[in-house]
Amino acid sequence: MTTTATGPQTGVTLYSFTNEYLTRQFELDTLLAEVAKRGLGPNIEIIGFQNFREFPDVSDKFAEEFRQMIAETGLNPVSCAINSDRFLKPGAQPIEDAALVEYHKRQLRSAKKLGFSLVRYQFALPVHLLPEIAPYAEELDIRMGVEVHAPMWAGHPAVQAYGEMYDKLDTPYLGWIPDFGGTASRIPESMLDAARAKGAKEDLLDKLKEVWLEDGMSHEKAGRLREWAAPKGHGPLEIQAACLAFFILSNHDPKSWAALVDRTIHIHGKFYGVSEDLVEEAIDYDTILPLFKDGGFTGTMVSEWEGHAYDMRDAFEQVRRHQAMARRIWGS
Amino acid sequence: MLPVERVIGEEGLAATAGGLKLAMRLPWYRSLPFSVVEVGPLAVDGEAVDLSDALIEYDGQQWPLSQNGEKVDTFWFIRDSAFLVLPSLRAEVGETREVSLNLFISPPYIPGMRRTNPQTSTLTVEAA
């Protein structure tokens, strides 16, 4: 289901259906069939390490099976999310650069073999390794988009450092994948309700909202809240439920995405709850989406419902509403 | 309990010749290498279990739990249960046990995140 012939396209990441998938209600093939049947594609994203058992090294046999699933459903495998797993031993030094480069190459090969046209990668990849990886992506003919995910945003120093390297390498194979959680206007009420259901008290949530607005990396802010909360008797599970917000959302100007539109190759339409009248509860889509259409973006925004991190709402209905909201804003 | 938080697997607890075997699920949304998963503490019927001789069983392989931290290239597929083998524990099929397990995970691409995932369930011991 596309919005316009030449403008931004819609689609969905299977990550939205994490609850349905982890509880074994669907296999990969039946989940793809359900997405197709409900008209939530055809453009899809898949996290390699969520839906592909053989990841990061996919066999020819599985690749053929996957291509068959795609052919049968009529879906379009746009993006494969790969991971920049640099911290493989907690508390120890990150893995060697050469090992991390090879780890990316393995995933790039698998994504290509499966028929994806681009990969999502992560800032955990140090920027100085891009000159080693980018030529390999060019050779494979697969684009790479780094996910600008909370607490990152267009003005973050890490994004700027990547931008400078992108200028230097000057290749169409590298770009951005905005994740709108980086410019949330507020913490979703549904997330706060989930924390309350786990026993979080109002004073903890009030402090959460205060610290959430401060600067800093996610784990620094989580540390700040923990230091405040633990002596006051808040339990580790309540604190953890509150800290989730630091890792998936940050509060920056929704208009700031304008600076990244030119090199945006794909979008994560992150959301938490779209109402029946098609408004997302925490992210200002009415401000954000026109920036991309007006800026000439013609790639795909995949609907990425992340409420499964804290509750069990019907993901299919949420994705339907999110795509309807995008059509309302972009025009169908 | 949310699917991304559960740690006790659907296959539950089984009596085997090598001791009790507990099914575990990975409390995250994607597969992770075993090296970023800390297994335990475990309590059975309220008593802490010594895990020094425990083993992990997954996908036809078995290794001592103490070596888990070295398993950087063995991925726990998110849909699978892995099994904790407890050689010192015995129970008869049909008995019940209250099992409390925690798995800590440190996602390898998110600096500084370490999640706690405690779960308690009363399980009926199955035949292996």
Q: Using H for helix, E for strand and C for coil, what is the string for A80-134?
A: EECCCCCCCCCCCCCCCHHHHHHHHHHHHHHHHHHCCCEEEECCCCCHHHHHHHH
Within this chain, do residues A13 and A135 fall inside the same structural domain, yes or no? yes
Cα separation, A306 vs A150, whole angstroms: 13
pTM listed for this prediction = 0.94
Is the predicted ipTM greater than 0.85, yes or no?
yes
Q: Calculate what percentage of chain A has a pLDDT beyond 70.
A: 98
Within this chain, do residues A204 and A131 fall inside the same structural domain, yes or no? no
Q: For residue A32, is it within any domain?
A: yes
Which among A120, A170, A114, A168 is positioned nearest to A144, based on CA atoms?
A120
The whole domain housing A231 covers 189-245
Interface of A with B (CB under 8 A): 15, 18-19, 21-24, 47, 49-50, 53, 55-56, 83-90, 95, 122, 124, 217-220, 222-223, 236-237, 240, 247, 308-312
Flag whether pLDDT at A2 surpasses 70: no
Three-class SS of residue A272? coil
Cα separation, A318 vs A155, whole angstroms: 30
Average pLDDT over residues A262-283: 97
Domain edge (last residue) among A220, A245, A270 = A245
Is A86 in contact with B113 (Cβ distance < 8 A)? no
pLDDT tens-digit readout, A79-103: 999 999 999 999 888 999 999 999 9
CB count in 10 Å sphere of residue A243: 24
Within this chain, do residues A153 and A196 fall inside the same structural domain, yes or no? no
Within this chain, do residues A220 and A233 fall inside the same structural domain, yes or no? yes
Within this chain, do residues A171 and A294 fall inside the same structural domain, yes or no? yes
Banded pLDDT at A136 (limits 50, 70, 90):
very high
Average pLDDT over residues A141-146: 98
Q: For residue A129, is it within any domain?
A: yes
pLDDT tens-digit readout, B87-125: 999 999 999 999 999 999 999 988 778 999 999 999 999
CATH topology of domain B8-127: Immunoglobulin-like (2.60.40)
Antiparallel, parallel or unpaired: β A76-81 and A118-121: parallel
Domain edge (last residue) among A201, A220, A245 = A245
pLDDT tens-digit readout, A11-52: 999 999 999 999 999 999 999 999 999 999 999 999 999 999
Q: List chain A residues with CB under 8 Å of B4.
A: 18-19, 22, 308-309
pLDDT tens-digit readout, A49-69: 999 999 999 999 999 999 999
Is A50 in contact with B116 (Cβ distance < 8 A)? no
Q: Which of A22, A56, A87 sits opposite B4 (nearest CB)?
A: A22
Average pLDDT over residues A295-322: 97
pLDDT tens-digit readout, A161-206: 999 999 999 999 999 999 999 999 999 999 999 999 999 999 999 9
Within this chain, do residues A48 and A119 fall inside the same structural domain, yes or no? yes
Within this chain, do residues A115 and A167 fall inside the same structural domain, yes or no? yes
Within this chain, do residues A237 and A105 fall inside the same structural domain, yes or no? no
